[in-house]
Amino acid sequence: MNKKSGIINGVIIVLSVVVLIAYIVFVDGLDNIINAFSNCRPEWLFVGVFAMGGYWYLEAHILNKGLSIFNRKLKAKYSIKNCMIGQFFNSITPSATGGQPIQAYYLNRCGIEYGFATSALLLKFISFQFSLTFVCIIVMIFKFNEYASKIQGFTALMLIGFTINTCVAIGLILIGFNKKFALVIMRFFVKVLGKLKILKDVDKKLELVSDEVEIFSKGFSTAVANKKVIIKMLLLSIVQILLFYSVNVIIALSFGIHINLSSMFHIISGAACVQMSSTFIPLPGAAGGAELSYYVIYGSVFEAGQISAAVLLWRIYTFYMPIIVGLFFSKDLFGKKFDKSFSFK
């Protein structure tokens, strides 16, 4: 690793630690976090950690499914690292926009062409967006009237969130099928990575973008034709989303709250609503909006003395943990050269 790369890695680590400490001290409060842990059953807190680990494992597995279409497959250690790099940069950037470009960069460092890397990442993201939309539609069918009658402005929040997610899904499909649109996006990412000093010889890289977009376009067409893999990715994405939502069930169990099938569906439905209603918050981790949505939607699940602690635990699992674990995997991201780590089928 050269000196310049070491400086970039150091800056990222320092900034991440500063962001993390700022959230803990000024947003959530260290004392409140300690109290949240002290009032819970520790065995369930460990279950929550394993649930998040399963969520991350599925993230890595789904991406490998996408790569397999192009006869590429990352080794397990690189696949997990790539996943956590994405989790880390999504957590510290507004609207979770930083993960995919850095993941594409890392995949390329592992020997996978940018065209195939971006195709696989796009397929994974499309699978996630469509699965999220599907889950939210199911929730709205059974829970919309209940939430709309109890929560002021719920209809507007859901409409905005649903519209944003739908537009994102449509935009991703356009990138896949429209070569010119894909070229604009790829050039934009190269310029951003150049300004961040992550890529060298930006002008040379821009000249290569057209070739990579050609690979990307052909790769996406190949992927769409591979319906079996796409269906598997969609089904796995649904399981991944439900596992993420189950963290809230685990938090309720840690407080000793009795859970049956009805209450489990209610809590999972609430998690979908929290995610959908905070989609448009342009801050890292949807700070502020996500917590407010959680307070409003889960007020009927947790007692008055529990709701604040529940919000903090939820933030620890879904925001602090990805930053802390992701930072560990991202600390030597830049400047390190890899041997080709993918294997052909």
- pLDDT confidence tier of residue 235, bands split at 50, 70 and 90: very high
Mean pLDDT of 10-34: 62
Q: What is the pLDDT of residue 36?
A: 65
- pLDDT confidence tier of residue 242, bands split at 50, 70 and 90: very high
Mean pLDDT of 60-69: 90
Residue 150 in 3-state DSSP?
helix
Q: How far apart are CA 61 and CA 326, in angstroms?
A: 17
Please name the residues in contact with 318: beta carbons below 8 A apart, sequence gap of 6 or more: 52, 244, 247, 285
Q: What is the pLDDT of residue 200?
A: 66
Mean pLDDT (the chain, rounded):
76
- pLDDT confidence tier of residue 68, bands split at 50, 70 and 90: confident
The answer to whether residues 333 and 106 touch, using CB atoms and an 8 Å cutoff, is yes
What one-character DSSP code corresponds to residue 305? T
What radius of gyration, in Å, describes the C-alpha atoms of the chain? Answer: 21
Q: How far apart are CA 196 and CA 194, in angstroms?
A: 5
Is pLDDT at 286 greater than 50 in this prediction? Answer: no
Higher-confidence residue of 183 and 272: namely 272
Mean pLDDT of 267-292: 66
What one-character DSSP code corresponds to residue 342? B
